[in-house]
């Protein structure tokens, strides 16, 4: 009996986490508009992330990020409209601007994650981790918001940002690594 209750609880929590990813993605997005606003062009700091975190273990798909001098990890969710628009190229060409880059797709099931990757051409050819319930990203970096871009050096989280357009994603990758953890939108804008 205890095992059944535990299994039901785990399933309910998984569904709740996926729903949270979807709600956070929707909150971060604007009313769908083919012309992004000025604020959409800039990454926004993601305060929930645990800066300085370094995972104890890395999934095989992301192993190269653990020792790269500069890496960008993009977090998307299958239930986030903005994530689909970003990965589908609606906001501009989906390019992760780092030599070492990968995408994590938070999803309710492996099948849903694989379908999301197959549907969005911007993800083809990239390192992709299918992350049921967003468990790895949440455990490793305390990140449960999508779409977001995490900047890493030697596997350590330097900065985390929400991004709603391809331009905002490019700006994350173009920031100098030593400035990643301290720059906000105004400083970025003033510097360019």
CATH number at residue 154: 3.40.30.10
Is residue 34 situated within a structural domain? no
Is residue 46 situated within a structural domain? yes
Q: Tokens standing for 169?
A: 């994603």
Is residue 128 situated within a structural domain? yes
Is the separation of the CB atoms in 44 and 149 below 8 Å?
no
Q: Can you tell me the distance from the alpha carbon of 186 to that of 76, in angstroms, rounded to the nearest whole number?
A: 25
Is residue 172 situated within a structural domain? yes
The structural domain count of the chain equals 1
User: Does the pLDDT value for residue 125 go beyond 60?
Assistant: yes
Instruction: Determine if the pTM surpasses 0.75.
Output: no
Mean pLDDT score across all residues of the chain: 82
Q: 89-113, pLDDT tens digit by residue?
A: 887 888 876 778 899 999 999 999 9
Is residue 110 situated within a structural domain? yes
**Whole-number pLDDT of residue 35:** 55
Residue 27 pLDDT grade (very low, low, confident, very high; cuts 50, 70, 90): low
Give every strand in the sheet of 71-77, ordered side by side: 44-45, 156-162, 148-153, 71-77, 100-107, 127-132
**Whole-number pLDDT of residue 100:** 86
Q: Is 53 exposed, middle or buried (0-12, 13-18, 19+ CB in 10 A)?
A: middle
Least confident of 15-24, 72-81, 145-154: 15-24
Name the one residue in this structure whose structure tokens are 């095992």. Answer: 3
Residue 11 pLDDT grade (very low, low, confident, very high; cuts 50, 70, 90): confident
Domain that holds residue 182: 2-29+40-191
Is residue 35 situated within a structural domain? no
CB atoms within 10 A of CB 159: 22
């Amino acid at each position: 009996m205890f095992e059944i209750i535990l299994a039901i609880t785990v399933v309910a929590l998984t569904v709740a986490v996926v729903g949270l990813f979807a709600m956070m993605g929707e909150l971060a997005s604007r009313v769908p508009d083919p012309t992004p606003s000025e604020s959409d062009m800039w990454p926004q700091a993601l305060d929930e992330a645990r800066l300085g975190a370094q995972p104890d273990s890395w999934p095989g798909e992301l192993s190269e990020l653990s020792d790269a001098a500069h890496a960008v990890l993009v977090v998307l969710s299958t239930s986030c409209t903005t994530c689909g628009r970003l990965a589908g190229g609606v906001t501009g060409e989906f390019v992760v601007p780092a030599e070492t880059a990968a995408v994590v797709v938070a999803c309710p099931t492996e099948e849903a994650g694989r379908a999301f990757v197959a549907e969005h051409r911007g993800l083809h050819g990239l390192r992709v981790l299918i992350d049921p319930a967003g468990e790895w990203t949440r455990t490793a970096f305390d990140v449960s918001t999508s779409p977001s871009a995490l900047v890493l050096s030697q596997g350590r989280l330097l900065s985390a940002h929400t991004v709603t357009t391809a331009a905002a994603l490019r700006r994350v990758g173009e920031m100098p690594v030593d400035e990643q953890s301290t720059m906000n939108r105004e400083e970025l804008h003033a510097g360019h």
